[in-house]
Structures are given as C-alpha cells and as structure tokens.
Amino acid sequence: MQAQPGRGGAGDRIADPWGPGAPYGAGVGWPARVDTFLDGVAGPEEVDRWVHSACVLCSNGCGLDIAVAGGRMVGVRGRADDRVNHGRLGPKGLFGWQANNADDRLTRPLVREGGELVETDWDTAMDRIVQRSRQQLDTLGPGSIGFYTSGQLFLEEYYTLAVIGKAGLGTPHMDGNTRLCTATAAQALKETFGTDGQPAGYTDVDHADTIFCCGHNVAATQTVLWTRIQDRRRGPNPPRLVVVDPRPTPVAQEADLHLAIRPGTNLALLNGLLHELIEYGWVDRAFIDAHTVGFDELAETVRSYDPERVAGICGVPAGQVREAARILGTAERLLSTVLQGVYQSMSATAAACQVNNLNLVRGMIGRPGCGVLQMNGQPTAQNTRETGADGDLPGFRNWDNEAHIRELAELWNVDPIVIPHWAPPTHAMQIWRYAEQGSIGLLWISATNPAVSLPELHRIRSILASEELFVVVQDAFLTETARYADVVLPSAIWGEKTGTFTNADRTVHLSDQAVDPPGDARGDLDIFLDYARRMGFRDRDGQPLIAWHDPEGAFEAWKACSRGRPCGYSGLTYRRLRDAGGIQWPCDDRHPDGTERLYADLVFNTDPEDCENYGHDLLTGAVTTQAEYRAANPAGRAILKAADYQPPHELPSEDYPLLFTTGRSLYHFHTRTKTGRARQLDQAAPDVWVELSAADAGRHGIGEGDLVRVESSRGRIEARARVTGIAEGTVFAPFHYGWFDSGGAGPDGRPRAANELTITEWDPVSKQPHYKVCAVRVTRVAGTDEHGEA
C-alpha cells in the first residue's frame, strides 16, 4: 500500500485531507501535484494498465486514471493535465474506489418470495418488473409508475431513462435524489438567468480577489477545490474570504470574516448585504440598467433589512453584517459560491437568487474571477438536470413551451401528446406522497438510498414497506432501501462501465470501463435498454423508440438532443474526451473548444423562446404564467428577483428548545454506500456524532464524548457529543449514517440516522427539503466511559 502525494513526501491524506500546498498568485495557473494511491501491488511497475476516468465521489469531478492489475482495480492516480484538479485527489477519491472490490457486492438479481429476498436470474427479475409495469399501465395508466433516480449515474444512463419515462411510458413522475441536493441550484439559475447552467468555472478561483462562500463547506464537500482556494490564499495577492455558516468549519476558520448565522436565516442576511450595497452605492448602475430587470423591486424589498434588524434575526453582530458588505462591496473580482447551507434551508431558492443578485448588482459576472457557482453536491447531478431524468425536460427545455415539446417529439418521433407536459414534471417529494397514497404502484429506485437520505425516515420506511407498492431497487449493494424491495437488480458501478459525466463547473469527463463487474451485475444502461426492449417501446413508425445499444450510441443520441440548447454537447466525442480530458460545455459549433464561463457577452437565456421555465414567486412558489412572462419580457437580461425573509415553520419551543441542522463529513459521501466500505474512510469517521456549543452543553450537563439523545417530534438518534464553536442554540449531526442491520438502528442498536429527526417540508420553488432546520431537544444518556442504554 502506498499513499503518494507526489510532491512533499509521503502524506497521510486522512490526517491532512488537502495535502501539501502549492501557493500561487492571481492569474497564474495552479501548479500540478499528482496524488496516487495503490493497494495490493508493490508499486506502479506492477500495474498492468491505467484507464482514463474521473472521480465520482463528489461534484468536483477530479480527473484520474484507474490502476488495474490482474483484472482488478488496485488504485488511482490523479491526472496532472486535468483542468479540474491538476493531479490532486482528496481522501474520498484516493480511497473510495476500494468499494468496487468489497466482498458484499450484489452479484445476482433478487426477488421477494414468501417475504424473503432470494437469488434469481435476470429473465425472472426483469419479467416481474415488466409484468407489473403492464399491469399498472392497463389499470391506472402511466401515472401509476414512478422513477426515483440519482446524481451518480452516467449521462448516457440518465438520457436513456428519460426517454423511457417521457416517450415510452409517458409518466411525469421521474425525479432524482438531486431534489435533495441541487434542485435549488438549478432553480435559482433558471429564475435569474433563464436556464440552468453554471455561470462561472473553477479557473475563476485563480482570478478572484474576493471569494464569498455562502452555506458552502467546500473543505468537506469538494476537498480538492478547497485545496485550490487555500493555495490562492497562501500565494501573492490572496483573495479575501467571507463565509456564512453556523458551524466553525475549516472554511469558516480560514475566513477573513465568518458570519455564524442561526440556521434558516440566510435570506435575511443576504437581504441585509444587498441593503448595504445599495445604501453605500457599491452597485454598478450602468450594468444594472443595461443587463438586468427588477432592480427597483429588489431595492424596495431590501430597504428594511438594516444591519441591526438582520443581526436580530440571524444572531450575528450588526458590525459583521456591515463588514461583510464592505468586503463584497469593494471587491473588484467577486466569486460567490453556494451549497447546501442555502439549498436545504428555508426559502432556499429565494436565498440562492440573492447570491446571484449580489454579483449582478456589482456587475460581476462573465469575466475572469467574477461569477457565481451555484454548486452541485453529487458527481453527476448536472447530467440528471440536463437530460431530464429529474423534474425537467431534456436539454433545459421548457415543459410549458409548445415549441420545445415539438422539438422533443420530432427528435424521438413520437406524438407530442405522449410527452407529459400538462404540468411541471413531478418532484420527488410529491412522487413519494403519491406512493404513500397508492396512486403510484411501481417505484423504481436506482443508485440511491432514500431509506437513509430522505427526511422523516419512519415515514419513508412505512412507504417502502407498503404491500401495495412494488419497489424495484437497482444498486451495487443491499442497501437499507434494497432490503424493502420486491426486485433488486445488481448493477455495475463506476470503473465497471463506460460513460460520461459533468461536474459542477460544466466539465465533461469520459470514464472508461476498467474492470468487469462482479458476477452477473450489469451496467445501468444495459438494464434500462433491456427494460425498453422487453416493454417493446416503439416510435410513431413502429421502430424501436430507443435505437442505441451502447454508451457511445447513447452519447451520440444525447448530442442530437442537446444541439442548439445552452448545454450543447455536439462538439464532443468519446475520442476527443479521451484525448483531451475534461472539456466544459457548451461545446458546439459556436464554442468549438468548450466554454470557460457563461454569459461573457452579458446576454442571458431569459428570452421567452429560450428560457427553461417562466419562473415563480419566490415566497409562495406560485408559477409565473407564460403570458405574464412574455408581457414582462426580460429579453436577454438577467432577472433580479426579491423576497422577504420568512422564519422557519418549526421553531424552538419549550419541549424542543434547540435548532437541529444536518451536514457532511469530509470522509464520506452520501449514505456511505461506497465510502463506508473503504477502510481508511470508515476508520476516519466510523460513527455519527452530535455537535453543540459549550453554552448548550453546559446547560444540559453534557461533556465532550458523552452519549446524548437528540429527539424531535418525529424520531430520535443517539450519538457521542462534540462540544464545538457552533452557534449557540444549534445542534448538528452528519446525515451519512444509516444502519446495515435493522430498521432504524445502527450496529450497536442505537438509532443514528440524522433523518429520523428531520421534517417533511420543502422550499416552495425548488421543492428541496428543509434538512437544515427543525426543533429538537438533547439529553445526556451516558458519560464517555459508559455504554448507555440501547
């Protein structure tokens, strides 16, 4: 085994997750540093071949090569020439691949017989799914079939699934766990700029003089990007750093200014910052007049958010609000980044839009160092959104625009009426509600683990366990969710199949197959194609609806679908991606070399013929009609949308006096399906913990390491306490930890899934659940050397 940072000596990437620094100055390229980890071979000389790929354990999408020896994966090596990581890999990327070799991979399909899951063959498993699909179609129609997919499949798989759902079955009920992750990013981009699509790119870190991280613990969620920011901070002319986060994360500790706000109050703070920018004239009036609409309404809305009012709502000193506004207001190259602290909280889209507004009123977009990164959490979340495997239509098309529907109908050669477009595609929280009510009778879950990741888990367990609901789970492991399935399909994962995926800054990577999947496991694309063939989906001429048979064929079909749209892929080929590494979309006739940052021409996608939807009222979620949008035609200008702060619906009370918020560990991704099976990562963070402030700990008689019980009105968990600098009144737990053995409890019998506590409530615009805000109480169960009750 060897961990080689490549420069700076042998590194322990668990103890030092970001590795040795390489300071650099503004406008100078980020120096390369190649990180390698091999296991099971003595050294690189024993590697048979290196296979072109990129990491799929977060949205950063770091370029890497997979080491193969004896037909098995034996390690990874960062690609020095990749634009995203310049050779670096974080702990998840270095160690997470070991899950591929885990002993408990699923190798044969399973079907439920007499209440038990038993092994079977593919024909039996697929026939059961097809039989149930036909039964649903014959009795209740296509609206009785739902799909809940992922942010971890490949573009080719999502696009194939989208065509099956929208043109084969004709169901509007398809969404991804991206609803719990990037739905707000997508919606905030649509509301402001007309369509989804990340305005900035990672090279803007190289140019910015000020970085504003709002609810974005980049050190944990995109480890290698944090290395890049740290390297800028250690170099000449470092960027100033302003951070909004209730927790003292590594990012907050590095910041020039850390605003430790109360969970659920982002919108009030951002309104306060906008208030100060306008008050002090730190706005670019010429840019606003030429390239935006809505400034007067914005100015009117934020007028009452003076620093004292904001301080009262957010629990931060008024002076900090003023200082943050001064830093942002005097920046010359401002890069703003946003993630789950905004997306999974109250008024998520409204708050995310205010970050867009901050950059727009300062005229800081579309040029080096200036822009917004409405980040993604999951590695392939962007592709779910592009291809329409979530609650969108493929190619950022608008469900309410007949011309867009006709384009898809012509492309797929189907009657437009087949494509569900009488209402917005169904969002995940509603899909689960339909399953609960019984109107969805078949729910097909692929590459995600909702029995740990959705809010209010007792409810999700009860839906999955319903006799009336036929549950299909497609996964590499017998997850907590798979244990409820009627049919389990064993899938190949990253490294065992070929496909492309797109990271948070629009960089498209090709990941080649390195090894064979175990046993009878099959790639997700093969599974979807097999289903389409068995269902006999046909186009208008009686030809197979899906004409492709392999990943490259699916990619070529997707290129045709994306042609002419903002996410154009038509200039990309597998060969080009293999030769050149990551390339940013749009890459098409107009952008043959890809696109470093969007909107350099300051023309936004807000024309009524182009936009992805017509927008919403940010406060209520009410849809703006096509007629209303056309009447106020923004015609290529960005839309400054405003909203008043609303307090969380569930506030602390006498019974539940603290606010509970969830988040992530640097060492784990999602529900640990992969990272929990990598020894180094599991050992680095083996169990859930609870963070609380010294004041709250003292008040409840809790010491460091004590076992505590956290209860909301929906459930409870038990975990060891960490006393930290978290905002007083706030309790934190990471959401990764499920149970592998029994309903609700971890291996030692303690309930430990943070989502036992969270609330079934969501943002009115993006429909993203409120994982960051609910009321709890905390009690001490046992001391550090006591085991406590089960």
| Residues at the contact surface with ligand SF4, assessed by CB under 6 A | 55, 57-58, 60-62, 85, 89-90, 92-93, 222-224
Closest CB 60 distance from ligand SF4, rounded Å: 4
Count CB atoms within 10 A of the CB of residue 724: 16
Select 507 or 513, whichever has its Cβ closest to ligand SF4.
507
Residue 134 has what DSSP assignment? H
- With beta carbons less than 8 A apart as the criterion, state whether 431 and 183 touch: no
Select 224 or 277, whichever has its Cβ closest to ligand SF4.
224
Closest CB 512 distance from ligand SF4, rounded Å: 17
Residue type, 733: A
Instruction: Report the alpha-carbon distance of residue 382 to residue 282 in Å, rounded.
Output: 33
- Structural tokens at position 263: 């969970």
Q: How many residues does the chain have?
A: 790
Residue type, 316: V
Closest CB 85 distance from ligand SF4, rounded Å: 6
Count CB atoms within 10 A of the CB of residue 592: 9
Select 60 or 673, whichever has its Cβ closest to ligand SF4.
60
Select 349 or 378, whichever has its Cβ closest to ligand SF4.
378
> Interhelix angle for 122-139 vs 524-535, to 10°?
50
- With beta carbons less than 8 A apart as the criterion, state whether 164 and 171 touch: no
Closest CB 675 distance from ligand SF4, rounded Å: 9
- With beta carbons less than 8 A apart as the criterion, state whether 95 and 669 touch: no
Give the list of residues 6+ apart from residue 15 with CB closer than 8 angstroms, or none: none
Instruction: Report the alpha-carbon distance of residue 216 to residue 486 in Å, rounded.
Output: 38
Count CB atoms within 10 A of the CB of residue 88: 33
Question: Please, which residues bridge with residue 49 across strands?
Answer: 68
Select 77 or 92, whichever has its Cβ closest to ligand SF4.
92
Beta strands in 611-736 (DSSP E): 638-639, 658-663, 689-693, 707-711, 716-724, 730-734
Instruction: Report the alpha-carbon distance of residue 596 to residue 413 in Å, rounded.
Output: 34
Q: Which residue has the tokens 């799909």?
A: 147
Closest CB 379 distance from ligand SF4, rounded Å: 7
Closest CB 392 distance from ligand SF4, rounded Å: 24
Select 666 or 719, whichever has its Cβ closest to ligand SF4.
666
Closest CB 605 distance from ligand SF4, rounded Å: 28
Residue 196 has what DSSP assignment? -
Instruction: Report the alpha-carbon distance of residue 556 to residue 624 in Å, rounded.
Output: 35
Select 137 or 666, whichever has its Cβ closest to ligand SF4.
666
- Structural tokens at position 553: 């064929």
Name the residue with the smallest CB distance to ligand SF4. Answer: 93
Closest CB 657 distance from ligand SF4, rounded Å: 37
- Structural tokens at position 94: 């270095």
Select 90 or 194, whichever has its Cβ closest to ligand SF4.
90
Residue 578's SS3 state is: helix
- With beta carbons less than 8 A apart as the criterion, state whether 80 and 63 touch: no
Strand-pair category, 707-711 with 583-584: unpaired
Nearest to 652 by CA among 546, 557, 729, 555: 729
Closest CB 373 distance from ligand SF4, rounded Å: 14
Closest CB 76 distance from ligand SF4, rounded Å: 9
Instruction: Report the alpha-carbon distance of residue 360 to residue 274 in Å, rounded.
Output: 11
Question: Please, which residues bridge with residue 69 across strands?
Answer: 72
- Structural tokens at position 609: 């013929």
Select 222 or 320, whichever has its Cβ closest to ligand SF4.
222
Residue 225's SS3 state is: helix
Select 59 or 453, whichever has its Cβ closest to ligand SF4.
59
Closest CB 246 distance from ligand SF4, rounded Å: 23
Nearest to 184 by CA among 426, 353, 336, 430: 353
Select 37 or 399, whichever has its Cβ closest to ligand SF4.
37
**Phi then psi for 489, rounded to 5 degrees?**
-105, 120
Select 152 or 160, whichever has its Cβ closest to ligand SF4.
152
- Residue 71 exposed, middle or buried by CB count within 10 Å (0-12, 13-18, 19+): exposed
Closest CB 641 distance from ligand SF4, rounded Å: 31
Closest CB 511 distance from ligand SF4, rounded Å: 12
Closest CB 493 distance from ligand SF4, rounded Å: 14
Select 85 or 184, whichever has its Cβ closest to ligand SF4.
85
Rounded to whole angstroms, the maximal C-alpha distance in the chain is: 73
Closest CB 477 distance from ligand SF4, rounded Å: 19
Q: Can you give 368-416 as a three-state secondary structure string? A: CCEEEEECCCCCCHHHHHHHCCCCCEHHHECCCCHHHHHHHHHHHCCCH
